[in-house]
Structure 1
Amino acid sequence: MTSNMLPGPIDEVKLKARLEFLDNLEAKLATAVQWKECESPAEYHKMRREGTNGFMAPVLNPAARLANVTGRDGNQIELRIIAPTEKASRGVLLHFHAGGFVIGNNASYDTYLTTLSRRLGLTMVSVEYRLAPDHLFPAPLHDCVDAALYALSPAGEKELGAPLKIICGESAGGWLAISTALSLRRDHGIEVKSKLDAVISGYGIFDLTHTPSLLEHSRNIVLSTKGMMEFCEASFNQIPMSERKNPLVSLLYADVKEMPPALFLTGQLEPLIDDSVFMAARWQLAGNDTQLNLVQEACHAFTIIPMGDATEEGLDIIVNFVQQKSS
């Protein structure tokens, strides 16, 4: 296990810049529109997509193309595909976006995925999974697993142009990345340890009964304790709190033996920091190749929202990890 439990030192200038950025971001977000304040999740999604009511519209990659997969429930699952432009793709990174199981979409982070595609020579395939509260657990997971099964199939490899190598996600997507890999092994008999090069989880949640770091968190930089709990209730409210340690829900209690190498990446100012630390320890104790990295003075979503050199550090960690693990 490679761990960075105590983040390496950074110089005073960078540290001051990171702290000032976070203070300013927290102040700015204090007046931001929250999804629960809207008439419906659809209204919130529309505002974010169109860049209205204080939001900045996502920057889209015009070269992205779309493909559709039929899910087990008969629904259409849209895949957003961003391929390398400088050379042939070495493989596919299947991506699950952030958003607390409630917000976001597969076009939310084109800039992030385009950067990773260029630096890694991999095709990014981002999944438009169903969202709460209209679609409760396990609907989002079913969509992500069905997308992974498609990517592993001959038809999927032909459509996507390369074999599936990496499963990756951030926040709720980090939960989905780990849960999808577990489901492939548990429910579909796939030897994921040999089929996948790696799994990457950025600041995911792994205990739906909540870890100490979430319960004790006092700031609201992108994500607060209350905000995370509201996200969880939106997607898992049909499951009583007394039953949420079920390993299908709280992955910290799952059987994680015989799994691929995994990177657990999180920031030091992350309300879900315990989730990554605890899950990385479980992964390693099960005998799996494990890497844990904490980034000093980084908050939730620091790899997917531009936050200066903290974002650069996070991206470098991801790139270096994939380059080491993916042939």
Structure 2
Amino acid sequence: MALNVLPGPIEEAKLKARLELLDNFEEQLAKAVQWQECESPAAYRQMRREGTNGFIAPTLNPTARLVYVAARDGYQIELRIISPREKLSRGTWLHFHAGGFVIGSNASYDTYLTTLSNRLGLTMVSVEYRLAPENSFPKPLHDCVDAALYALSPAGEKDLGGPLKILGGESAGGWLAVSTGLSLRRDHRFDVRSKLDAIVAGYGIFDLTYTPSLLEHTRSIVLSKQGMMDFCEACFSHIPMEKRKAPLVSPLYADLKEMPPALFLTGQIEPLVDDSIFMATRWKQAGNDTELSIVQGACHAFTLIPMGDSTEEGLDIIVDFVQMRSS
């Protein structure tokens, strides 16, 4: 089956309503405090966590439980676990949160993860990987790979709620999901195509030398061109630009053979839309089951932030993809 690189169809009135919502949202966000303006990234993270300075604290799932596993350097990685409410779990989804490698946490998106858990019958296990600039590349990736190795172990399968089936994340978490899958195959010799049901990558960045859609982006709806570059520099500034096409840094240039099915989901009004298009194309060319979904009138993080029916559409795409490929 050919890979469709065009956005899905939408009624004109529905698209108009989505675009108006985005215009209003962009205007509101222009007044928001940015992490670069704070005394430190840690101070910004605290404001978001506690709901101060105009932020709304995340809604937490009271049934979430925590498990701690050792990273390769002894650091204790916190895993936040949300189980299906009304059915037995069929397995686990290892989740890597958004936040540009700098902000966010495994408790940032409990509402989103609870919805997916209940709809899919999977246990969502979200990784509290270390953040930049305090912990630059490769530490965030190492934490995610170490969490995946634990999830694939007999002890992990018992503690977390079943066998690991999905690697998934959004934005920086999309990069982490793909890079973790590649590391499991390349560095740890796992047959990830048979071990995993799928990888779900939402609006990720896959080329750290930057794609045309980012370089040409002029809007600032959740994520601007400069904002994305600031995030990347916080995590990868020690790597010269001329070396950032290395597969460990930019998975777009990796050997993608023998990888699991993957969904690359993105909004049309998105600085990283090319990253998903290019990555899906290479994933498909490598002989892997691939789906690319581009949602019209949707911006960065549209599945995480309530954005009306574009959010519903994105969630439906994820659920349909996983249900088709997860036993």
TM-score (norm 1): 0.99
Instruction: Indicate the residue corresponding to 2:123 in structure 1.
Output: 123
Alignment of 1:20-169 (within 5 A): 20-169=20-169
Instruction: Indicate the residue corresponding to 2:187 in structure 1.
Output: 187
SS at match of 1:167: strand
Please say if residues 2 and 290 of structure 1, whose CA atoms lie closer than 8 Å, have aligned partners that are also in contact: no
Q: Is 2:284 the counterpart of 1:256?
A: no
Q: Do the aligned partners of residues 177 and 70 (structure 1) sit closer, same or farther apart at CA in structure 2, a change above 3 Å counting?
A: same
Please say if residues 3 and 281 of structure 2, whose CA atoms lie closer than 8 Å, have aligned partners that are also in contact: no
Separation in structure 1 between the aligned mates of residue 318 and residue 8 of structure 2, nearest angstrom: 16
Query: What is the root-mean-square deviation of aligned Cα atoms in Å?
Result: 0.8
Please say if residues 2 and 291 of structure 1, whose CA atoms lie closer than 8 Å, have aligned partners that are also in contact: no
- Residues 88-112 of structure 1 show CA distances to partners (whole Å, capped at 9, x for unaligned) of 1001000000000000000000000
Shift of 1:184: 0.2
Shift of 1:5: 2.0
Instruction: Indicate the residue corresponding to 1:196 in structure 2.
Output: 196
- Residues 233-288 of structure 1 show CA distances to partners (whole Å, capped at 9, x for unaligned) of 00000000111011110111000000000000000001000000000000000000
Separation in structure 1 between the aligned mates of residue 94 and residue 229 of structure 2, nearest angstrom: 27
Shift of 1:4: 4.0
Instruction: Indicate the residue corresponding to 2:170 in structure 1.
Output: 170
SS at match of 1:23: helix
Shift of 1:3: 3.8
Q: Is 2:251 the counterpart of 1:279?
A: no
Shift of 1:2: 6.1
User: Identity of counterpart residues, as a percentage?
Assistant: 77
Q: Do the aligned partners of residues 214 and 193 (structure 1) sit closer, same or farther apart at CA in structure 2, a change above 3 Å counting?
A: same
Instruction: Indicate the residue corresponding to 2:320 in structure 1.
Output: 320
Please, which runs of 5 or more residues in structure 1 have no aligned partner? Answer: none
- Residues 170-206 of structure 1 show CA distances to partners (whole Å, capped at 9, x for unaligned) of 0000000000000000000000000000000000001
Shift of 1:230: 0.3
Separation in structure 1 between the aligned mates of residue 131 and residue 260 of structure 2, nearest angstrom: 27
- Letter paired with 1:21: L
Separation in structure 2 between the aligned mates of residue 3 and residue 20 of structure 1, nearest angstrom: 30
Q: Is 2:226 the counterpart of 1:226?
A: yes
Shift of 1:11: 1.9
Instruction: Indicate the residue corresponding to 2:298 in structure 1.
Output: 298
Instruction: Indicate the residue corresponding to 1:12 in structure 2.
Output: 12
Please say if residues 8 and 293 of structure 2, whose CA atoms lie closer than 8 Å, have aligned partners that are also in contact: no
Separation in structure 2 between the aligned mates of residue 106 and residue 285 of structure 1, nearest angstrom: 33
Separation in structure 2 between the aligned mates of residue 112 and residue 76 of structure 1, nearest angstrom: 25
Separation in structure 1 between the aligned mates of residue 157 and residue 272 of structure 2, nearest angstrom: 34
SS at match of 1:188: coil
Please, which runs of 5 or more residues in structure 2 have no aligned partner? Answer: none
Instruction: Indicate the residue corresponding to 2:268 in structure 1.
Output: 268
Shift of 1:137: 0.1
SS at match of 2:85: coil
Separation in structure 1 between the aligned mates of residue 10 and residue 286 of structure 2, nearest angstrom: 33
SS at match of 1:10: coil
Please say if residues 2 and 292 of structure 1, whose CA atoms lie closer than 8 Å, have aligned partners that are also in contact: no
- Residues 121-176 of structure 1 show CA distances to partners (whole Å, capped at 9, x for unaligned) of 00000000000000000000000000000000000000012100000000000000
Q: Do the aligned partners of residues 2 and 101 (structure 1) sit closer, same or farther apart at CA in structure 2, a change above 3 Å counting?
A: farther
- Letter paired with 1:66: L
Q: How many aligned positions are there?
A: 327
Separation in structure 1 between the aligned mates of residue 215 and residue 133 of structure 2, nearest angstrom: 23
Separation in structure 1 between the aligned mates of residue 58 and residue 277 of structure 2, nearest angstrom: 31
Please say if residues 60 and 111 of structure 2, whose CA atoms lie closer than 8 Å, have aligned partners that are also in contact: yes
